[in-house]
Structure 1
């Protein structure tokens, strides 16, 4: 009896019907198990691994550990239990339950296995109990405190150091660095305040546990000798995963504390995603890409020496599907190929599973499918970084031919002298043999009639004699079936009036004719297309219109984009014919294409482009435009200087000259013909010109003497487009007028506009009756070299503050918020050391004797005074000038109506007066006036 049941089950599985309404399918995973790290300290005394698959009929589940099946059904198990498809491990033990698990889902259509999930037991051992030896170091020297972390899993932990007592943690800075690779604490130069006890603290975030070492005494002795930078933390060659983050470490000992600089070898800048932290010790690269793969260099610099280190960053990627597999239904005995392609680095290895068991590698080829080839197939791609699965069902079918779903059309139409195809597409497996009859006559292939591979019947040059009843007979080893249809021949459709080639100017209107003859028993439709794109008259009504009851096409307000080949298709249910004509549109030239930079120099580039269409008028010339990094808007393009000049209509390249060095540019080109300037090209890719020595010196160099030996030197900073390179700055030179030697100071901030030099010898002595003079000048520099100095300027160091005050101060109110002030000037004034900080101030050059005061309060009483100032301070005040600002204007507008005459030649206007302000806060209007329909009131 058992043998009988097994045989019946096997027959049911092997018989695959062809019906389309089959709803059964093999398992498809919806949830797969994940890697788990379990710790003994976990409050949960069980591990749950989830597995859920969708299938019809519902699947059954099994689990494997290290390729051995877990016996869940046959024997009771105190540790394992199955809930749905989920595996529960109670009271897990490392020796029994650590390993690689997979979930197996199965139904009558096949078996699939899940991706692998690792169960590991996490731990973090304690530090040894032995006391740590003290570290003795002299002040100014470097020190390294070794962590020597205990064994652990997972290996990813964070390191911190405790200073003297828990929980006082050391905060890394420019001098102190904690390596997250080794846990060691590095101090570039030890200071007296560093003395104390240190403990290495290790924390594992996945298991939530931390341990710390015995304290290590750090003893410092006095000596502050300087010594050179020495890199002691050096990142190794590193391999990172695509789209993940990576951190590179570099730290140096030295006194003074070294400064860390990072570079990407072969590039001017670090990647855009790069970020430097921990005072330069860490280089973070976020979301790394293949182009980030390169050599990286860290350089440690101090006043005694510089040290550097280079290593390589490699970027690789986990497998990712490029071509995968899909559920397929194939006829028994047919050929079939299954393949999948995965991208990744290293190149992924491809292998196959069938119903959960290994089935080959590379590509699967079937020369003659059998029922045994049916099942669930899984393509697996794996490399060092990961593994991915793709599943699909292959179903091999066999059935007798049937026309139930797709019979031969009952009534068929064909055009006289045309081609007729009568489709015959029954459902059958394996592929059937086809026989056609017309009435009782069996048809064979000849010069006009042929039976196609898919069973359809083709008739060429059909005539009325081909009318009749046609029957398709399909037969295979499972059975046979037939279907019948009646063929009627109609008159062929013919174009009688075809569209003609036409030329038209932009903005004009054109008509394209199209007429056709057709069988009167049929309906005809005219379809127009432009360059094989069917015209949508509903969406393009502004330009296209189809004349009713004809095939004529009207094109209104023709534009350049309407140029092309227009095709008229006259179509009936039986056949269609076409006729085409070219429409040429004359107008502005088309934009050039392929604009690109081929050579880059410091002040010029070689630009290349492809010529665009001239649109019926020869191109007279080209214009090149540039947009640099500091363009204010997207449309801020400027005409460029070129060589040669001008550019002829046959030009395809030119040198763009007079560019700024070290500037980001993009370029575009437009053509000109007899109709005017055409549309500009798509901008080129952005490029940066080479760097060069700066040639522009700061302007408005000047300054003044201040109090307590201050010499203030000022200048107008150079605009960024004149930096010409990186590391731009200023060199300030100054000297007393009678001295020979200049003093120099380097300013690295390009935005700086002021330098203050303090020297006690500059202070004015009581017996010094002369105003001291200084010569000052400023030049620029960048990484390529020094630029020119500005003109030398004389700066005067004053003996004292101004002793005179401005006279004849006079003011006049202009409005409720503004006033004008005049005075007779004194030739000094300064902004600092203000004795009246609560007053509002305006500073004007010494050459002016008037200014405008704005943002004043209406209807207010003001006292105005004028003072002179110089570098030493502010002089005495002038006599006070009193002034009252006007009241504020009315805050509401008149309410107005209007009346227009029937003739439209005059307009009558009336309005309500502004209400009187009884509180006196606003001025009362004196009269009203109308300007072109706008009512104004005057006060």
Structure 2
């Protein structure tokens, strides 16, 4: 065992006074010390209410105060007009008329039995109101060209003041190089003009501090002109002369105090008016030099020692020059080189040195005093007084006093008080005993041991633990007696003792050091990019010493400013989480998370970048203006942190569609100008939109308008259609030019046509419309047609010739039957080959050409589901059709429903309509694999188990045999472990408890529904086991609590919907003990007997609470399974016992949760899945009957209109395939594959549902939860090689599967 080791130091009182100042215990007597005083000059300004002379001091015993005025005693207490303060020497002089009697120099003395301290001198000045003397000033008469000086001689007053010259009517005298005012206030004329004659020159003096302006009596100046001619008859002119300096009159030396402003003035007379030049002898003028007053005044602010020297001014004109030299000396007031120590503690018999050295220019004089009196008044043999120090040899207690040192020269004085206390005192440790220190591992710590003693005490530190030591490089004893330990280790924890001793005695204290774990951020916030208007969330997770957990504080800064200083409601903080709602551009910046305790802190920062659509471009400019083009320029603006991908140029024209903007051109983001091709005769304006990944900017401000001149059309009409709706008639129509393509006024079309191969000449017709009927044509013969556009400015280019046929044959019998000239027969040999559960191949024999009675349009395959093999229910007919253009003999029918029976027919059609249908054939589709389960949720996280809850798939596509559950561990959200599988039998199972899982692990689960054919696609979910489950009851709910939940049970049958009671064990244990509802104030809340009562548009959630904090808050969260969006209620008081959720959709599946935090995603207290009731059947039937009646009326009205059209022999009616014929029937013209059906619809030729279908919808709604619309795929290409079979399995879907809620099934166990 090592012996005790210690660290010691001898404390010097002088060090205390030098570095820290002396601290005297309350019972120790102290010399007076001035703590507040008035110094300098106090001017009694008229608007001040009072004038305060402050003098405050401390000492033990308490000091008394006295004043002197001009060296004589002054007692403010004896003057009734003066107000004094108790326990201080401060007094106030009121602002009264007789205050001039208080003018003088004041000094304060603070004394107790140990000595006297003195204050600096304060001078009180009572200014008199300045006045110009009353005098009569004789007129000044000069001859033109002479120089003259008008003297001001202003009265003395309180600076600053301002002098200026004006006339009696307050017009300023104009000053220039010839006439100017000097620093003295005199007005100097270098030479005079006759126009200088005035009888009211006045000098004004303004004194700002006393708010006074005084005026000198007016002066008269008369300038006599020179006589016009001399005696000899020559013209007399003004005599010119060389310059002569008026100010200053002789060599001058200027003394300035360092820091003041130097002003050198040089005013000269002469004719012509002299120019003044400034030079510094042996050097350059300082850069701070300023030349003012028309070159006559040189100023240098803040004068320095290097500015000393000789300066010269030179006045010159064309007749000569004059110079003047200035000697500038820079001096300084006194300043301390070494100021006396303010306090010294000395022991009896020691030597005392009091230093006092000052510098200045001239060199200051040092004067010593003791207790305010000259030191010479205290003769002593052991005192030595040198120029700048006093030495007291073998000090005695009677040498205790306040010593004053005053340094002075002509620019001012300095006064310092030095308190010297001579005494002996045993060690007194000022640091509290048994003080506890705490620090972090690896940090430094300082343990104090402040001692008052005289003579100085010797300090010794040691460990109370015999095994401990304060020896080594990590331990330092500071000069003030404190012990510093560097890079603290765990072995440094324990008790320490500080011992102090001198010749008068001994003292000691004990301290204890504790080592804490460092506070550190274990999960720092991450940089993120968020879109404006969304929610940003930063998370800052921390670990700290358990003993400091309660005082742990989170502070969030944005760009160095505390977020709490922003009163915005958009910020929400919860422990280490910061949420920013409705993010705006101002939220972009650097966010710092500070976690701190009383001992340490840690910080982490993240940058939030706010993304937004760009700002609109600006400064749109048009250039290169031509008849058919223009160049548009713009300036890009902020892209809001998402690079611009392109610019969209839009145009608006004021004639055809005013105020309607249309896209004209898209331009790369690297370009900021674009040439624009324009139409003729359009009044344009343009705007630009910037686009980035977030979206489009607002449009820019529009450019100026530009109108193009008119011209001939650029093109001819396109998409010419030649149709024969009636025999002996040919209907010609075309796609007209757009209004902006007219290119000028008076647009018309020249229609030309002739019989193909028969006629050489063209028949022409000018048409303003975009259709024309040629009558009396032969039946079904070919014609050549061309159309050319024309306006008042010319013709479009030569048109293309197209070929078409006149009207087909017309049979009276078929007209009466309503199917004029449609095909006569149906396709033969219709067969169906089932390729898989959703795909069918249909084949047929083409009909003979002779039976088509027109152009072949194609074939239509009609099919409909007659029965579901899953439920053995007959299904009312709902036909679907697939149109195959051209001469095809087979096709693929995708999107069939698995495990169903279908019927199918085929018919051919021409331009007149559909032919008869083939005889129906029947076929059945085999079972398929189910869709993925509709819903999967991991819940009830336990130490080694997780409960999975799901809802069956919408479409089972066969007999559901069970489920395949697979799961694997997840590490760091990336690495996946070995895949485990569990086969779950039973179609009704909707829960499963996975046991024997690894503790504190994350898992990913996959669930697939299965039929005899196989398993479908899987739905996935993540979850994890909770290592804290059942180990911290203060953070969990009871292990088993009964939950009563009322839900609706739905089966795949036509039976009535029933209500059953679900009872299941339910427990909850949070994996995060820091979430709000498991803190110390909520840990005893228990929620029991949760139940839900469901209607069609509402649900009532009820509960009962138990525990000491049952009067708390919780939230109800609800999610619609169709959109997956959670909605959260306001905070609810648990004592209320229920909550009503309204506005739900009938027949819809929802998940409801009870949770103790407003944040979405935290563990819930209770969770349940339910489905709302369907809407009332009576209401549905009523609305459907009305709809059926309305549709029948519309159908009847349509039939009457068609009959009227045929009777009037008007233009041929349009039929179902008419719109499809807009696309040419020839498959080669479209590059189609042989197997490609170009159109596919569920209800060709059925614009209205039949009453039978409406009735089926009404009745089936009681048996089916939901019915999805049949989906269509835009890709309609198929290949015969069979490669499409897997792709189109499930091509169409019509869902009718019921969603089974948690209706009492006993969960399985793995």
Tell whether the structures are fold-level matches, with TM greater than 0.5.
no
TM-score normalised to the size of structure 2? 0.31
User: Radius of gyration: which is bigger?
Assistant: 2
TM-score normalised to the size of structure 1? 0.43
More strand by share: 1
More helix by share: 2
